[in-house]
Copies of this chain bind each other. A is one copy, B any other.
Amino acid sequence: MGKALIIGAGAVASVVAHKCCQNPDVFEEICIASRTRSKCEALKKELDGGRTKVETARVDADKVPELVQLIREVKPDIVINVALPYQDLTIMDACLETKADYLDTANYEPPETAHFEYKWQWDYRDRFEKAGVTAVLGSGFDPGVTGVFSAYAQKHYFDEIHSIDIVDANAGDHGYKFATNFNPEINIREVSAKGSYFENGKFIETEPMEIKRVYDLPQIGPKDIYLLHHEELESLALNMKGIKRIRFWMTFSQSYLDHLRALEDVGMTSIEPIEFEGKQIVPLQFLKAVLPDPSSLGPRTKGKTNIGCIFQGVKDGKERTYYVYNICDHQECYREVGSQAVAYTAGVPAMIGAMMVLTGKWKKAGVHNVEEFDPDPFMEAMNRCGLAWHEDFAPELIG
């Protein structure tokens, strides 16, 4: 049916490529491109032998002309951006110039700030619409599936949704006393950033980790869960009509927080370089080198993730609650695609989003968040593609 250019060769990109190759009727060809071609080649080796034809290329995704040239050579129907969020805009520029459809999993952040916002990418709306090019923003799990869940709840179960609680729980155990699933810089930023939630038309800021609950989640059990800011709050607040409150919750264990705080207290998470043996060294960079490589956690991680949304609102004049969630098992994910559930749950929805565009179901000129599309084919594909979902109309979660 079509050809996808996957930009990036990290854990999420690897999942995307594996899942594309599991759907060769849709993804007849893929090209994996990143700054380090050897990574793309290693990935190609894992994938070769199936019906999907796999190519690789080298590209510096910071450079629009390089991207344009690559897209002209590869001629993809869609560009799946699973590179760094800093590179969203250069890749969007290249897609506009070459009229290739675009999809990503995380919104743009200027390298010099720590602030994720959609405004940079929403600024491209007119240009994409005029060019007749589709851009799908934030098609990972959260953001991504959480938006699809919201659209699905709205379409089938509510006249009006008043509140959404997005709950991202990871009960995985890698056996280390402390390690981070992603770049520790991002983990640390998550924990030390102010929280915020949307209520009655505006965002309310909280102190970092100020609001804590215990949720007793299916197949996960009771977990400490904290209110964080998360990027989909911004788009859902705009796209869900009549919404009164949206909150995002994520699990952190006490031990994880204690370690992170101790490291912060002593200055090991600082990004200010210090002088060490005549060299300027950033403590956080050194910490990263001391901690286990996130990519080494995959084979060791046991347990499950549970990510879902709890909706409250009205249908036919009656109040109702609806909880929809996915559970992934780290070891099953690893066996299937060589990555644990954190990368798996981000990568599969990127493939499904691309599948929606390629099959014409989500083909719509302009720049869109996932909740703006019809959720049904996406939800159906989730059940087929390893992200089966469950629903509960009377959840009892809060401990």
- Is A214 part of the binding interface, using a Cβ–Cβ cutoff of 8 Å? no
- Chain A 274-328 interface residues, beta-carbon cutoff 8 Å to B: 274-277, 279, 281, 283, 285-287, 289-291
- Is A380 part of the binding interface, using a Cβ–Cβ cutoff of 8 Å? no
**Is the pair A289, B274 in contact by a Cβ cutoff of 8 Å?**
yes
- A291 contacts which chain B residues (CB < 8 A)? 266-267
- A259 contacts which chain B residues (CB < 8 A)? 262, 265-266
Across the two chains, which residue of chain B brings its CB closest to A267? B290
- A262 contacts which chain B residues (CB < 8 A)? 178, 258-259, 262-263
Given B177, B266, B270, B279, which contacts A287 in the complex, CB threshold below 8 Å? B266
- A258 contacts which chain B residues (CB < 8 A)? 258, 262
CB distance from A366 to the nearest CB of B (A): 44
Q: Bound complex: CA of A124 vs CA of B262, how far in Å? A: 45
Q: Bound complex: CA of A281 vs CA of B263, how far in Å? A: 18
**Is the pair A290, B265 in contact by a Cβ cutoff of 8 Å?**
no
- Is A131 part of the binding interface, using a Cβ–Cβ cutoff of 8 Å? no
Given B178, B270, B286, which contacts A286 in the complex, CB threshold below 8 Å? B286
- Is A268 part of the binding interface, using a Cβ–Cβ cutoff of 8 Å? yes
**Is the pair B287, A281 in contact by a Cβ cutoff of 8 Å?**
no
Across the two chains, which residue of chain B brings its CB closest to A179? B266
**Is the pair B268, A287 in contact by a Cβ cutoff of 8 Å?**
yes
Q: Bound complex: CA of A277 vs CA of B262, how far in Å? A: 25
Instruction: Provide the A67-95 mask, 1 if CB < 8 A to any CB of B, else 0.
Output: 00000000000000000000000000000
Q: Bound complex: CA of A268 vs CA of B178, how far in Å? A: 12
**Is the pair B266, A266 in contact by a Cβ cutoff of 8 Å?**
no
- A287 contacts which chain B residues (CB < 8 A)? 266, 268
- A279 contacts which chain B residues (CB < 8 A)? 277, 279
- Chain A 161-180 interface residues, beta-carbon cutoff 8 Å to B: 177-178
- Chain A 86-143 interface residues, beta-carbon cutoff 8 Å to B: none
Q: Bound complex: CA of A285 vs CA of B274, how far in Å? A: 13
Across the two chains, which residue of chain B brings its CB closest to A283? B290
- A275 contacts which chain B residues (CB < 8 A)? 289
Q: Bound complex: CA of A399 vs CA of B177, how far in Å? A: 33
- A289 contacts which chain B residues (CB < 8 A)? 274-276
**Is the pair B281, A178 in contact by a Cβ cutoff of 8 Å?**
no
- A266 contacts which chain B residues (CB < 8 A)? 177-178, 259, 263, 287, 290-291
Across the two chains, which residue of chain B brings its CB closest to A270? B290
Given B268, B276, B277, which contacts A268 in the complex, CB threshold below 8 Å? B268
Q: Bound complex: CA of A274 vs CA of B289, how far in Å? A: 8
Given B265, B270, B281, B285, which contacts A177 in the complex, CB threshold below 8 Å? B265
Q: Which of A262, A279, A285, A289 is the most central at the interface, judged by chain B CB atoms within 10 Å of its CB?
A: A262
Q: Bound complex: CA of A286 vs CA of B287, how far in Å? A: 10
Q: Bound complex: CA of A270 vs CA of B290, how far in Å? A: 10
- A267 contacts which chain B residues (CB < 8 A)? 290-291
CB distance from A245 to the nearest CB of B (A): 35
- Chain A 15-60 interface residues, beta-carbon cutoff 8 Å to B: none
What are 23 A-B contacts defined by CB distance under 8 Å? A177-B265, A178-B262, A178-B265, A178-B266, A258-B258, A258-B262, A259-B262, A259-B265, A259-B266, A262-B262, A262-B263, A263-B263, A266-B287, A266-B291, A267-B290, A267-B291, A268-B287, A274-B289, A275-B289, A281-B286, A283-B286, A283-B290, A286-B286
Which A residues are closer than 8 A to B by beta carbons?
177-178, 258-259, 262-263, 265-268, 270, 274-277, 279, 281, 283, 285-287, 289-291
New A-B contacts (5) at CB < 8 Å, excluding given A259-B262, A276-B281: A177-B265, A178-B266, A258-B262, A267-B290, A283-B286
Q: Which 8 A-B pairs have the closest CB atoms?
A: A262-B262, A177-B265, A259-B262, A267-B290, A276-B289, A178-B266, A178-B265, A283-B290
